[in-house]
């Protein structure tokens, strides 16, 4: 009887072992795998699966088979949503403290500049996220780890991961150190030039009208990326001579046509404010 039970138990262990192995491969990570990134972020994760999910793009998750229980591979889209909200709140609070004389519209526009995709993508590059993001084969082939939209979304997902793992204080420390404080020096000079008074497209329109020039002409020059994460590339053309920039053109990109146009206008304004080259 004892031998039969032991044989039965052994058979049960052999049957269940592959299922456990699959689960463990997906659920258990060595701490050393993420130590370099944690050092950059300034946060040590108690649950490193939270960080792994933040680094997993939907294109990678869709290529993975469900586990033994039928659960789909987790990806970071919901975390992007949460991270966007956490980042917006923490940035708004920081700007409220730093610029007590700003009106509501000025604060809103300042926040927009600190949370725009291009700026967050640069933060992601400084973190070295490209080598950590898990992408599907198609995104890998199209150099998805270099795309602004994917980098920016991953930064938002990581902010959510830090918030979920360490709470508001941990998320605030990360946002202040890596996003708000480096970006404040970009905002302060702009307050003296009036660029904070309007959104970039409106500001550019007013600058053109002041010089009796025609309205800026925006053109979508490229749309790329997957259907669920398109990236728009837009050029803006200023047809008449403005200050020291004759027939100036500028480019911008974003996850929507509107966002790309705003970023193109912002680039045009920055170039118009550059000192003339002799």
Spatial CB neighbours of 218, under 8 Å, sequence gap ≥ 6: 234, 235, 236, 261, 264
Q: Are residues 256 and 181 in the same domain?
A: no
In the chain, how many domains are there?
A: 2
Q: Is 156 a catalytic residue?
A: yes
Q: Are residues 101 and 165 in the same domain?
A: yes
Q: Are residues 132 and 221 in the same domain?
A: no
CATH, residue 222: 3.30.160.20
CATH, residue 30: 1.10.1520.10
Q: Are residues 78 and 43 in the same domain?
A: yes
Query: Three-state SS for 41?
Result: helix
The predicted pLDDT at position 200 comes to 78
Range of the domain at 243: 200-272
- Token duo for residue 141: 């082939």
Task: Assess if residue 241 is contained within a domain.
Answer: yes
Distance CA 227, CA 49 (A): 27
Rounded-to-10 torsion of CA 153, 82, 59, 225:
-40
3-state helix, strand, coil in the chain (%, to 5): 65, 10, 25
Helix locations, 68-147, DSSP H: 77-98, 104-115, 117-127, 137-141
H or E element at residue 18 = helix 2-27
* DSSP state for residue 177 in the 8-state scheme: I
Among 166, 193, 220, identify where a domain stops: 193
Which residue in the list 118, 139, 153, 156 is annotated as catalytic? 156
Q: pLDDT 10s digit of each residue in the chain, 278 long?
A: 545 555 555 554 444 433 333 333 333 345 556 788 999 999 999 988 899 999 999 888 888 877 666 677 888 999 999 999 999 999 999 999 988 888 887 788 888 889 988 899 999 999 999 888 999 888 888 888 888 999 999 999 999 999 999 999 999 999 999 999 988 876 755 554 444 445 678 778 877 777 667 788 899 998 988 777 788 899 998 865 444 444 678 888 888 888 888 888 888 877 776 544 43
Q: Is 84 a catalytic residue?
A: yes
Among 193, 210, 240, identify where a domain stops: 193
Which residue in the list 84, 190, 261, 267 is annotated as catalytic? 84
Q: Are residues 209 and 85 in the same domain?
A: no
Q: Are residues 184 and 114 in the same domain?
A: yes
Q: Are residues 235 and 155 in the same domain?
A: no
Q: Are residues 163 and 133 in the same domain?
A: yes
Q: Are residues 128 and 236 in the same domain?
A: no
Q: Are residues 28 and 157 in the same domain?
A: yes
């Amino acid at each position: 009887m004892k031998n039969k039970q032991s044989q039965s138990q052994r058979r049960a262990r052999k049957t269940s072992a592959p299922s456990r192995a699959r689960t463990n491969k997906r659920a258990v990570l060595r701490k050393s795998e993420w130590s370099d990134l944690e050092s950059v972020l300034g946060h040590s994760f108690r649950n490193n699966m939270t960080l792994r999910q933040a680094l997993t793009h939907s294109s990678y998750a869709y290529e993975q088979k469900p586990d033994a229980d039928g659960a789909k591979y987790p990806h970071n889209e919901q975390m992007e949503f949460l991270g966007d909200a956490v980042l917006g709140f923490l940035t708004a609070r920081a700007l409220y403290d730093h610029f007590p004389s700003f009106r509501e519209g000025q604060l809103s526009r300042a926040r927009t500049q600190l949370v725009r995709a291009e700026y967050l993508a640069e933060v992601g590059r400084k973190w070295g996220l490209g080598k950590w993001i898990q992408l599907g084969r198609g995104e890998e082939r199209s150099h998805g780890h270099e795309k602004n939209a994917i980098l920016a979304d991953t930064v938002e997902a990581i902010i959510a991961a830090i918030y979920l793992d360490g709470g508001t204080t941990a998320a605030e420390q990360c946002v202040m150190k890596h996003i708000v404080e480096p970006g404040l020096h970009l905002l302060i000079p702009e307050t003296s030039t009036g660029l904070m008074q309007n959104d970039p497209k409106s500001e550019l329109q007013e600058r053109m009208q002041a010089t009796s020039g025609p309205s800026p002409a925006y053109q979508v020059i490229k749309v790329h990326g997957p259907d669920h994460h398109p990236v728009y590339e837009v050029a803006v053309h200023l047809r008449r001579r403005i200050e020291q920039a004759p027939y100036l053109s500028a480019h911008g990109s974003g996850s929507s046509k509107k966002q790309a146009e705003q970023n193109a206008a912002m680039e045009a304004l920055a170039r118009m404010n550059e000192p003339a080259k002799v």
